[in-house]
């Protein structure tokens, strides 16, 4: 059984920060390569309506689906119509209350924000490294999505158990904004971004910037402020609005 | 055209170090989970002769092959009989002289060494996170293989151009050991591992070890000493032995 204790959940979210930072730095090893995001320019025959990045994400998720990735609550897919798992996946009892995890799927928002982030972390221009770029794009968006959905689901359930009397009337009234406010803890958010800022600095401290491109801490701080944290909270509200009363 | 200058090649190899370190730390986020390396226990119907890790690597490489990964000289596959690329991949003129890049394929050696490394970087035991573990195993072995093959091919060609008169008779005599010795630069190797040690320390310096498992610098230093560096040199020799005289 996954521990539905807010501290344990916060620690797991903290432990996912390095993974996100690593994957963004790895993507930034390559140029922005904007052509990989242009529809119809993937070079794949018969897939002219998609970009190389979109195709890579689709192929990756088809493979992941066969391995059972999306049986895990916090692994929400970016694509629809994925294959069923080819293997049996056993999942710990989650303690979550929802009939359909895909009611809490923030991937569309994450994708928009990630695509806006790429030109901020990568050097401008084209180095021809399209394969490596889309490969690391996919790893990055998946790491971000895992963090956002894990937070959304488990933080929401845990807060519900902490203050059911405060949340129940807001859920009943379907009051998105009041729920969002009730779930907001400014001090916690500030502590998260301060820690992320320090991690981005220390992780890159031995990189020789003449030979490898680094990312500025403020870019990642902004991404946490404008995407990771608000999308997690949006997911928390969606979870609560879809939580059947027990 | 890729720069066949030994300094530029060394700098590219240096820039790949963070990627390898990141991917190993990410794998070490999960337990050793030894069952994922046991043949016949993947849980996939009809694939009873392979481990979950072997299947993940195979599925990943099938996808990568469709995207054209193995058109790139330094991307040598771990598996055989992969699909042909589904898209046109344009590769810069490499300056390499070889008729078949797969004469220089160190993946079998890398795999053996990597599987021995896993219990040294991961906490012992089983956390059930099989999907995430094999996913990050694959990213790690691919990053290591890319570094080894890049070094093998480009360092060898560059050294050949630097000292053809010294290497030609050894190549003609197919003298593996003398070639290996001629390509060895102890001082360079020591500088590499010293740098890797410092990077492993600084990259992890802000990780809270109570909540995320870290890897000891000496483990990665040993892996560079016993695998990355010698396998790169073995690949250099194989390249030279397969280099048609021009």
At A20-73, the pLDDT tens digits run 999 999 999 999 999 999 999 999 987 679 999 999 999 999 999 999 999 999
Written as one string, the DSSP assignment of B71-126 is GSTT---SSSSPPPPSB-----------S-GGGS--HHHHHHHHHHHHHHHSPSS-
Q: With H, G, I as helix, E, B as strand and everything else as coil, classify residue A102.
A: helix
Q: What is the pTM of this model?
A: 0.96
C-alpha span between B149 and B73 (Å, rounded)? 8
Closest CA of chain B from A149, distance in Å: 16
Q: Do A25 and B29 touch (CB under 8 A)?
A: no
Q: End-to-end distance of chain A based on CA atoms, in angstroms?
A: 19
* Whether the predicted pLDDT of B2 surpasses 70: no
Helix crossing, B6-27 with B130-150: angle to 10°? 170
| Contacts with A205 from chain B: Cβ below 8 Å | 202, 205
The pLDDT confidence band at residue A168, using thresholds 50, 70 and 90, is very high
Mean pLDDT estimate for chain A: 95
Mean pLDDT estimate for chain B: 95
Tokens of A245: 């009363």
Q: CA nearest B90 in A: which residue? A: A128
Average pLDDT for B185-208: 96
C-alpha span between B67 and A52 (Å, rounded)? 9
Closest CA of chain B from A67, distance in Å: 7
Question: Number of residue pairs across A and B with CB atoms under 8 Å?
Answer: 108
The pLDDT confidence band at residue A116, using thresholds 50, 70 and 90, is very high
Helix extents (H) in A29-77: 52-67
Q: What is the pLDDT of residue B245?
A: 77
Over the stretch B41-92, which tens digit does the pLDDT of each residue have?
Answer: 999 987 679 999 999 999 999 999 999 999 999 999 999 999 999 998 888 8
Please give the share of chain B, as a percent, with pLDDT higher than 90: 90
Closest CA of chain B from A198, distance in Å: 8
Q: Which residue in the set B63, B86, B211 is minimally distant from A15, CB to CB?
A: B211
C-alpha span between A232 and A147 (Å, rounded)? 8
| Contacts with B92 from chain A: Cβ below 8 Å | 128
The pLDDT confidence band at residue A93, using thresholds 50, 70 and 90, is confident
Q: What is the pLDDT of residue A1?
A: 57
The A residues from 142 to 201 touching B (CB cutoff 8 Å) are 195, 198-199
CA dihedral B226, B229, B231, B237 (to 10 degrees): -140
Place of tokens 């795999």: B111
Candidates A55, A84, A203, A213, partner chain B, best to mutate (most B CBs within 10 A): A203
Query: Is B69 near chain A, with CB under 8 Å?
Result: yes
* Whether the predicted pLDDT of A2 surpasses 70: no
Q: What is the pLDDT of residue A90?
A: 82
* Whether the predicted pLDDT of B22 surpasses 60: yes
* Whether the predicted pLDDT of A245 surpasses 80: no
Closest CA of chain A from B197, distance in Å: 11
Tokens of B237: 């020799």
């Amino acid at each position: 059984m996954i521990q539905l204790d807010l501290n344990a959940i916060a620690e797991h979210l903290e432990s996912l920060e390095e993974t996100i930072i690593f994957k963004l730095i790895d993507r930034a090893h390559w140029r922005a390569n904007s052509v990989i995001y242009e529809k119809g320019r993937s070079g794949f025959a018969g897939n002219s309506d998609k970009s190389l990045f979109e195709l890579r994400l689709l192929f990756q998720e088809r493979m992941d689906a066969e391995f059972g990735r999306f049986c895990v609550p916090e692994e929400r897919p970016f694509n629809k119509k994925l294959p069923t798992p080819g293997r049996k996946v056993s999942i710990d009892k989650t303690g979550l209350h929802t009939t359909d995890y895909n009611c809490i799927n923030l991937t569309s928002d994450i994708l928009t924000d990630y695509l806006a982030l790429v030109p901020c972390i990568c050097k401008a221009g084209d180095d021809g490294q399209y394969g490596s770029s889309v490969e690391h794009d996919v790893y990055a968006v998946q790491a971000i999505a895992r963090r956002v959905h894990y937070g959304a689901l488990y933080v929401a359930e845990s807060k519900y158990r902490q203050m059911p009397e405060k949340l129940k009337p807001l859920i009943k009234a379907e009051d998105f904004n009041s729920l969002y406010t009730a779930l907001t803890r400014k001090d916690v958010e500030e502590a998260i971004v301060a820690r992320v800022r320090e991690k981005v600095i220390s992780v890159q401290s031995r990189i020789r910037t003449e030979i490898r491109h680094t990312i500025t801490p403020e870019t990642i701080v902004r991404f946490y402020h404008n995407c990771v944290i608000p999308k997690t909270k949006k997911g928390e509200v969606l979870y609560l609005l879809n939580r059947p009363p027990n």
